[in-house]
């Protein structure tokens, strides 16, 4: 799957896609499963409720957000790649976190959920035809291609890996 052109996604999402190097996206998506597990290996559970600034999510809430976004981007990718032209709404990430129960979960549980969700998404992405990956749809009132969503999956995780390393786990 080739990198999407800039006209295949809203400018806002370049903050994610630009974090992904040139090359095949599937190995990057696969590697992120291990990268996330390694990043949190040995992190004590009490670090899960740490917030680096007032009004910021806790470590576990941020991890839960990564999982929520993984699901939502994948749902969009599925619908658009299958030719569904129904415009897809955005989501209120704050409301999702408020109802996530993330702080009561273990890191192991959250990381398992991320890994399972990502593996499922990889099966979908690996089996897209080139034509399906280039299909365009509408999400959050913006045009987007299925392949741009695959890159957003990787870029969103990379974005949050940087935040975890610099603000939560430093």
pLDDT tens for 107-131 read: 999 999 999 999 999 999 999 999 9
In a domain, 120, yes or no: yes
Joined together, the tokens standing for residue 12 give 């806002």
Q: Please report whether residue 129 resides in a domain.
A: yes
Angstrom distance (rounded) from CA 82 to CA 99: 30
Residues of the chain with pLDDT under 50: none
In a domain, 65, yes or no: yes
Quote the CA–CA distance of 152 and 37 in Å, as a whole number.
20
CB burial of residue 92 (10 Å; 0-12, 13-18, 19+): exposed
- CATH for 90: 1.20.120.450
pTM greater than 0.85 (yes/no): yes
Asked if the structure places residue 1 within a domain, the reply is no
Question: Burial level of 130, CB count in 10 A (0-12/13-18/19+)?
Answer: exposed
Does residue 146 sit within a domain?
Answer: yes
- Asked if residue 29 is part of any domain, the answer here is yes
Domain presence at residue 102: yes
- 82 part of a folded domain: yes
* Neighbour tally for 86: CB within 10 Å: 9
**CB-CB contact of 50 with 164 (8 Å):** no
Q: Give the residue numbers spanning the domain of 102.
A: 6-168
What pLDDT is stored for residue 68 in this prediction? 98
Provide the pLDDT for residue 20.
97
In the chain, how many domains are there?
A: 1
């Amino acid at each position: 799957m080739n990198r999407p052109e800039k006209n295949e996604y809203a400018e806002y999402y370049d903050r994610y896609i630009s974090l992904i190097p040139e090359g095949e996206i599937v190995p990057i998506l696969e590697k992120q499963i291990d990268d996330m597990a390694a990043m949190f290996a040995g992190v004590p559970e009490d670090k899960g409720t740490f917030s680096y600034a007032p009004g910021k999510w806790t470590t576990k809430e941020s991890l839960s957000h990564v999982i929520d976004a993984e699901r939502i981007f994948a749902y969009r990718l599925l619908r658009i790649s299958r030719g569904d032209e129904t415009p897809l709404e955005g989501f209120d990430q704050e409301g999702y976190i408020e109802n996530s129960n993330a702080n009561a979960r273990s890191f192991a549980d959250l990381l398992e959920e991320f890994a399972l969700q990502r593996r499922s998404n990889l099966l979908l992405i690996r089996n897209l035809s080139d034509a399906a990956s280039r299909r365009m749809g509408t999400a959050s009132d913006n045009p987007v291609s299925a392949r741009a969503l695959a890159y957003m999956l990787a870029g969103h995780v990379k974005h949050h890996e940087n935040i975890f390393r610099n603000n939560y786990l430093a």
